[in-house]
Structures are given as C-alpha cells and as structure tokens.
Amino acid sequence: MSLLEVKDLKVRVEEREILHGLTLTVNPGEVHAIMGPNGSGKSTLSHVIAGKPGYEVTDGQILFRGEDLLEMEPDERAAKGVFLAFQYPVEIPGVTTWNFLHTALNAQRKARGQSQLSSPEFLKKVREVAKSLNIPQDMLKRGVNVGFSGGEKKRNEILQMALFEPAVCILDEMDSGLDIDALRIAADGVNALRSPDRAMVVITHYQRLLNYIIPDFVHVMSRGRVVKSGGKDLALELEASGYAQFEDAA
C-alpha cells in the first residue's frame, strides 16, 4: 500500500476551481519534488493534504495508508503522521517554543494512545533533537517564532519535523525568504531526516533547492494538474527551458 495517494483531486476556493484532477502517489522513503509556476496550485495541494479550512474538495480522494484523510480534522492528520512545514510559520506571542512543542507532542501522543511525556522527559528529548540539528537551545525559550529571522523560522519547522517524527513531510516553498547559507542549513536538516520509512514532498518554485535536497521524482504542475513527471533530471531541464512549454500542455 502506498503511503500517500492523491487521486484525481478537484478543489475549489470560493467557487473557483484550483486543482482540476490531480494525481500523485508517494511511497515510504521517497522524496518527491513538486515544481511549477506561481498560481499552479502547489500550495493549495499542500494545504488540502494538511486539512487547512477554506478549501472545498469537489471530487477525488486523498488516502493515507489507505485511510481517507479528507474525513479527518487537521489535528487527527497530524497525529497520524502528516506534517506540513509552512512557507510562512506564524508567531504566537507569550507562548514559549518549549511549551508549544511539549503541548503539541503530548496532544499527538494522546491521540495515538501513547503516554504523556513529563517536562523532564520532554526536555531531554527536545534537547537531543535540537543538538542533532545544531539548533541553539536558546530558541526553545523564546516565544514561538516571535522575532525569529526567516532562517530561524525554517529551522524551527525542521526541529518540529524531527521531534514529531512524521511519516510524510510536506515542505511548502521552504526556500522562500532564505539566503543561500540559510538555505543550505535548512536543507541539511531535511536531509538528516530522510529515512526509508519517511516520505517527503518538496514544493518549490526554483530548481536551486533541489541542488541541496536531491529528489527521487520530480513533478511539474501547471494550472492545477501534474503535467509531467520524471526523475531528478527533469528539474534541470526545467531550469534551462522554463515553465512556458507546459503552459500549453495544461
């Protein structure tokens, strides 16, 4: 059984159809890159998989390990192992990153019928994870993303990804707003989390991210559909020739 199957997905936002029948199959251990011009529906796809309100699915299916993901609330999907690394992570003043992560991890564990981690247990775990990713401890004491630089926000996303150990990670435009050094650090974090049990869906506009995170498959989206799929070389091809050739195909 595939880990994630998107079948002929049609999605509307306020009466306008954004996805016109999208199909994507992701197996454990695979890294898929989804590329496409602005407005092709890449972010919509990531939002619908994670369950962001405001989208109407008019047709098609999303299965996660064979279960109907569309029937689940966003927090249920998270507990099942669906993780979305946000393009623009939000700020939550007055709530320390430490407290946020502890509360969230325990909420997921509770949903899975696992025991709750006490503060010392959690602290030990989060410190180990932060250390393995070279993330300074100081970040844990600050308000969630409050006053974080673009790079710090993305690293906080990767820290959470490492902490929650999801089965599928969707990285939405992770490279936006990052300079080349920050991009490399973030990509290193992602690469460290690649594993045979975990799949990744990397959404990006530019090819440059894929120099650091090497995908197994590349899909080109245009006007709400996947118009071409291939290996990692497809990304390089795109870099040379641009998206224009696919506009007509869609």
Per CB under 8 A, residues contacting other proteins are: 14, 50-54, 73-75, 77-79, 83-84, 86, 88-90, 92-95, 99-100, 103-105, 107-108, 111, 143, 160, 164
Q: Which two tokens stand for residue 230?
A: 């291939």
Closest distance between other proteins and the C-beta of residue 106, in Å? Answer: 9
Closest distance between other proteins and the C-beta of residue 174, in Å? Answer: 15
DSSP alpha helices (H): ranges in the chain?
A: 42-50, 74-80, 97-111, 119-132, 138-141, 150-164, 180-192, 233-241, 244-249
Q: Which of 21, 75, 33, 81 is closest to 52 using CA atoms? A: 75
Cβ distance to other proteins smaller for residue 93 or 196: 93
Closest distance between other proteins and the C-beta of residue 53, in Å? Answer: 3
Cβ distance to other proteins smaller for residue 109 or 232: 109
- Angle (CA) 213-36-71 rounded to 5° is 85
Closest distance between other proteins and the C-beta of residue 139, in Å? Answer: 16
Cβ distance to other proteins smaller for residue 35 or 200: 200
Cβ distance to other proteins smaller for residue 47 or 225: 47
Strand partners for 185: none
Cβ distance to other proteins smaller for residue 95 or 214: 95
Q: Helices 150-164 and 119-132 meet at what angle, rounded to 10?
A: 120
Closest distance between other proteins and the C-beta of residue 240, in Å? Answer: 36
Contact 139, 156 (CB under 8 A): yes
